[in-house]
Chains A and B, each alone.
Chain A
Amino acid sequence: SQQGEEDPQALSIQEGENATMNCSYKTSINNLQWYRQNSGRGLVHLILIRSNEREKHSGRLRVTLDTSKKSSSLLITASRAADTASYFCATDAGSGNTGKLIFGQGTTLQVKP
């Protein structure tokens, strides 16, 4: 079964608003990553947070990690129409250095101009 579950499955907001997506996972992890997928394209890495970190920022992205609750959130501030995409969390499921990631089901974000 898949490691991650994401919430909500779909999100629609106006340009300029903030978008928050949540991810829960089942097993212990070494790190958690977020990826973005534009329609019809491959996934692109956004940000990685290690299990000993609680918060990380990259531009308009803010990621939090709560290992006690096995959950993470991705916040996109001041959203733009170009942020319209699907967003996936992924963990190594504690598998270590294998290049093997387990993905959540994704959140589809629509940002209306």
Chain B
Amino acid sequence: NAGVTQTPKFQVLKTGQSMTLQCAQDMNHEYMSWYRQDPGMGLRLIHYSVGAGITDQGEVPNGYNVSRSTTEDFPLRLLSAAPSQTSVYFCASSPRSASGANVLTFGAGSRLTVL
């Protein structure tokens, strides 16, 4: 199994440009989420989804859009990139758990630099 696949691994943007970070999982997990990781800040939740067609905001959603048209894919769109969005982005997925204990599987990350 490939697990969670993120593309691209690295990207440089100019301020104001838009782009989409791709995330795909092949484990048939219902839940997917996007985090950003900044030095000294740990991981902060951007958006998450509990199933196809259902998304919700996390802690830092401004400047980002998501959609979940299929179980497998959960792309993250930057509408108009800003230097403050320079970060490492992680996509994660987890299966629905009868016990409510959601263990996340992470992708390898996408490093984004906005100039």
Contacts and interface: CB of A to CB of B under 8 A. Distances in A.
Nearest to A48: B101
A48 B33 CA distance: 19
Contact of A42 (B29, B32, B106): B106
A102 B101 contact: no
Given A42-B107, A43-B90, A99 B100 contact: no
Nearest to B50: A98
Given A30-B101, A97-B97, A99-B104, A42 B33 contact: no
A88 B101 contact: no
A98 B43 contact: no
Interface string B6-50: 000000000000000000000001111101000011111100101
Interface residues of B, number: 34
A50 B97 CA distance: 13
Contacts of B101: 30-31, 48, 50
Contacts of B30: 99
Range class of the A interface residue count: 20 to 34
B98 to A, nearest CB: 9
A100 B100 contact: no
A35 B43 CA distance: 11
Contacts, number: 81
Contacts of B41: 2, 105
Contacts of B105: 45
Nearest to B30: A99
Contact of B42 (A42, A100, A106): A106
Interface of A: 2, 4, 30-31, 33, 35, 40-45, 48, 50, 88, 90, 92, 96-106
Given A42-B109, A101-B45, 18 more contacts: A30-B100, A30-B101, A35-B104, A41-B108, A42-B107, A45-B104, A45-B105, A88-B43, A92-B100, A96-B100, A97-B97, A98-B31, A99-B33, A99-B94, A100-B48, A102-B59, A104-B42, A105-B40
